A and B are shown apart, each in its own frame.
Chain A
């Protein structure tokens, strides 16, 4: 589903965010990406969603080399990758429904067809009753779940989350992780970047650890390893 081959990313000024990172995420697999701030987690996710391009190496999604994707084609790649952000990035002056519907509107859905899918996505994250609310009236956990609903509304095969629980308390974080688990069980490949090591260790999924841009650990993370 997702494959990194010796991927490096350097920024002008000599800072190396990623240093020859290689890994593969199988179809239907769920994995965590962890490491301290500045370890390169966000950079890695940005390379998948084509916000950034690698300085060296290649990134493949479903066997397609992203190096060959032209700027014109980037929007279409992003439609296949659901993205969730720490600050959830909702449009504050639009209702929850409109926010979740955005990817569908972009793809040309209209009317009942669109409403049906939006309601299904909101139902999956347990926010069906909040469809008419504005994001400002939601709690942090609810807003994050709206972000998830928006990411999954067009049923992408791959889901990326960048610190989805960064602003949430432990209980809410666990809820959010359960939502990801549910999507994974439905067959979606999920990659979650998080520095919440305790939570990750308890979830018992494959965990990749980045440090200074290098992959230092790939496998199950045990609670006692995490400091």
Chain B
């Protein structure tokens, strides 16, 4: 495009390329600038390393905390799914009355499942698990009540609580029990932890943003004469900016990957320690690492940080350099 000489065939437009050729040329220019920026990073390895390290560390901490929250949630979820209300029935309830009650409860819209553990079953279970087997044999009468285990339809503490209150009033029910207070506390704690993760992430990432911006600024200052020459021979600001933006993207890619590697190494290191603990607790807990999707998010955030950091530097400094 020539502003001064309307007839003059200028630049790449001279050959009248079609849309596809233009597009390919544009893509080619971008790829070339991206690769050039990658090469530029090796010219100042110290600053590159410092910036990548800052970005990597800043992303490692929030990622680790995120994994911690995720793993705790995974543990607590197995409890979440087993909200169960225990209904201890009155001792003098007859089997007919019990089966009536069971049918009644099964018809209740809020109840998902009803399971009956009668006196005899409870006794044998207790004998097995408690280790009092022989002592219990001396009892002439089974002291255990019949128990109904109710699984509520809605798996939430509040709904389960309401259902329990209702069942408590049933005629044959001696006592209804639902132990959810610790689950609620855990949920509240998890929420707090999650908020902390966000806060820490925002603080660390803004610091990383400033460091990236500063690195790009130094790189711009370093190339001041080059930028002047490019402006003199007709480069647009966009053209001059692009390599620096790509530099930011590369810093983001490396920083994000560094965070990923550090987190993975840390998990690998913790895994054996956790295996010992879970063995002692006879739990089948497995430490979850980053999923493919979470890795994608990590990289995306890192790249965005690099891009935004360099954009801030580029916006304010490239305009200021005039031949």
Contact = CB atoms under 8 A, between A and B. Distances in A.
A106 interface: yes
B9 to A, nearest CB: 9
Interface in A166-225: none
A78 B234 contact: yes
A73 interface: yes
A69 B3 CA distance: 9
A157 B229 contact: no
Contacts of A110: 25, 28-29
A154 B11 contact: yes
Contacts of A105: 29
A78 B232 contact: yes
Contact of A51 (B1, B26, B235, B323): B323
A23 to B, nearest CB: 18
Nearest to B9: A155
B239 interface: yes
Given A62-B4, A80-B5, A49 B232 contact: yes
B5 A77 contact: no
B122 interface: no
Given A49-B232, A76-B234, A102-B229, A109 B3 contact: no
B3 A64 contact: yes
A62 B29 contact: no
Contacts, number: 82
B10 interface: yes
Interface string B215-233: 0000000000110111111
A104 B26 CA distance: 14
B192 interface: no
Interface residues on A, range: 20 to 34
B283 interface: no
B2 interface: yes
Q: What is the interface of chain B mostly: helix, strand, loop, or mixed?
A: helix
Contacts of B12: 107-109
B213 to A, nearest CB: 24
B128 interface: no
B11 A79 contact: yes
B119 to A, nearest CB: 88
Nearest to A83: B232
A80 B29 CA distance: 22
B234 A103 contact: yes
A70 to B, nearest CB: 10
A83 B230 CA distance: 12
B322 interface: yes
Interface in A52-103: 61-62, 64, 69, 73, 75-80, 83, 85, 89-91, 102-103
B229 A106 contact: no
B233 A106 contact: yes
A83 B236 CA distance: 17
B8 interface: yes
A98 B237 CA distance: 20
Contacts of B232: 49, 51, 78, 83, 85, 89
Contacts of A129: none
B29 A108 contact: yes
B46 interface: no
B29 A79 contact: no
Contact of B229 (A75, A80, A89, A113): A89
B275 to A, nearest CB: 54
Contacts of B109: none
B15 A79 contact: no
26 contacts: A64-B3, A75-B235, A76-B2, A77-B3, A80-B5, A89-B225, A89-B229, A102-B229, A102-B230, A103-B233, A103-B234, A106-B230, A106-B235, A106-B236, A106-B239, A107-B10, A107-B234, A108-B25, A108-B26, A108-B29, A110-B29, A113-B15, A154-B10, A154-B11, A157-B5, A157-B8
Interface of B: 1-5, 8, 10-12, 15, 25-26, 28-29, 225-226, 228-237, 239, 322-323
Interface of A: 49, 51, 61-62, 64, 69, 73, 75-80, 83, 85, 89-91, 102-110, 113, 150, 154, 157
Closest 3 CB pairs of A and B: A107-B11, A108-B12, A79-B234
